């Protein structure tokens, strides 16, 4: 609008001389004192609101050493599920192998020797951790143990005829994800431990250290002795006497008394205690120790003569002292 105002004033009929035009141009180009004062006052009153291009804003400031570009942050993309799947499978296999080796292992029941407690095809979980701390099998427990020698010599394995299936089974059984079909392990109930005397005459009952066992777990229709009465047998230290619950269909300690160990099993061959039936689901159950093995005196009865013998020896040793004391007291009274 300033140009328009100036152009309107120059429209008067004044003579156009060189000096006049130059004077007017100089006057127009030089700001008046009043205009400068007004501009300065306006700048003082609105100093924060003026746009000064020479004053750098915070966004435009640069370090003294020159410009430095900020590195761009790249967002990490989530890893694909298919890339993570092999890692997850590897971790699962390692964990399964560790659990099988040190904690719990699954075993499949191949025969009828433990009916009706265990049926063919049942899967049991075996505690392998407790033996690591020195615990030994106890009476009444169901245990899995390696063949002590010759017990399963004629027993066929349940391996698949398909080589691929057999290979998969071997891998899965190695890491503990399924029971092994080619290992020759047995599962029985512990009846007596080292130091015990066990026997069964006629139709029973089975006696441990002279105390009769009440065995409700024995297969219906079987007698406690089955078809093989035995004993009395003294179980050596570090060994156990085992029997199947299906007494008429179990080749247990009774049938291997002519072998080294007299039918007993070394404690070192015991893999662990079976504590639960895990499969099939409708067969799920725990495997506790029957109450009959909690009878008073069952363990102490193994050594009944030791306290009496010790007492007799003590009495004999104290006899001279008692006699001397008695004689001294008698003389005092007579005096």
Catalytic residues: 113, 188
Cα–Cα distances in angstroms (integers) from residue 12 to residues 3, 26, 30, 81, 239, in the given order: 16, 18, 21, 88, 136
Q: What is the largest CA-CA distance in the chain?
A: 178
Nearest to 136 by CA among 257, 255, 238: 238
Q: Which position has the token pair 């061959």?
A: 269
Nearest to 217 by CA among 206, 229, 230: 206
- Interacting residues of 78 by C-beta distance below 8 A, sequence separation 6+: none
The tokens for 270 are 């015991």
The tokens for 4 are 């328009």
The tokens for 299 are 């363990």
Nearest to 132 by CA among 104, 163, 174, 172: 104
In degrees and rounded to multiples of 5, residue 212 shows phi and psi of -75, 140
The tokens for 235 are 């179980």
Separation CA 266–CA 259 (nearest Å): 13
Q: Which helix (H) or strand (E) holds 232?
A: strand 230-234
Is 126 in contact with 78 (CB distance < 8 Å)?
Answer: no
Separation CA 92–CA 244 (nearest Å): 36
For strand 185-193 and strand 197-200, is the pairing parallel, antiparallel, or unpaired?
unpaired
Nearest to 8 by CA among 28, 31, 32: 28
Q: Which position has the token pair 């290979």?
A: 167
Cα–Cα distances in angstroms (integers) from residue 125 to residues 121, 142, 286, 289, in the given order: 13, 11, 10, 16
């Amino acid at each position: 609008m300033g140009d328009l105002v100036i152009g309107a004033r120059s429209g008067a009929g004044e003579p156009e001389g060189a000096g006049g035009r130059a004077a007017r141009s100089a006057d127009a180009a030089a700001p008046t004192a009043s205009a400068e004062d007004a501009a300065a006052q306006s700048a003082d009153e609105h100093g924060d609101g003026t746009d000064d291009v020479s004053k750098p804003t915070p966004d435009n400031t640069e370090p003294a050493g020159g410009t430095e570009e900020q590195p761009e942050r790249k967002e990490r993309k989530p890893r694909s599920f298919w890339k993570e799947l092999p890692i997850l499978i590897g971790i699962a296999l390692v964990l399964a192998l560790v659990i099988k080796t040190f904690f719990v292992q699954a075993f499949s029941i191949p025969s009828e020797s433990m009916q009706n407690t265990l049926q063919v095809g049942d899967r049991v979980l075996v505690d392998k951790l407790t033996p690591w701390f020195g615990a030994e099998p106890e009476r009444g427990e169901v245990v899995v143990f390696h063949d002590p020698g010759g017990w399963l010599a004629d027993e066929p394995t349940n391996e698949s005829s398909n080589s691929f299936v057999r290979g998969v089974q071997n891998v899965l059984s190695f890491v503990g994800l399924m029971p092994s079909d080619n290992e020759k392990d047995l599962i029985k109930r512990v009846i007596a431990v080292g130091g015990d005397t066990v026997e069964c005459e006629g139709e029973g009952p089975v006696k441990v250290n002279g105390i009769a066992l009440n065995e409700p777990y024995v297969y219906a229709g079987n007698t406690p002795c089955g078809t093989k009465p035995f004993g009395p047998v003294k179980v050596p230290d570090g060994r156990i006497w085992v029997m199947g619950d299906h007494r008429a269909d179990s080749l247990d300690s009774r049938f291997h008394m002519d072998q080294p160990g007299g039918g007993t099993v070394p404690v070192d061959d015991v893999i662990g205690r079976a504590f639960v039936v895990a499969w099939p689901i409708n067969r799920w159950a725990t495997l506790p120790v029957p109450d009959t093995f909690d009878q008073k005196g069952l363990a102490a009865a193994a050594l009944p003569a030791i306290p009496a013998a010790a007492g007799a020896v003590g009495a004999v040793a104290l006899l001279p002292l008692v006699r001397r004391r008695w004689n001294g007291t008698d003389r005092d009274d007579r005096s």
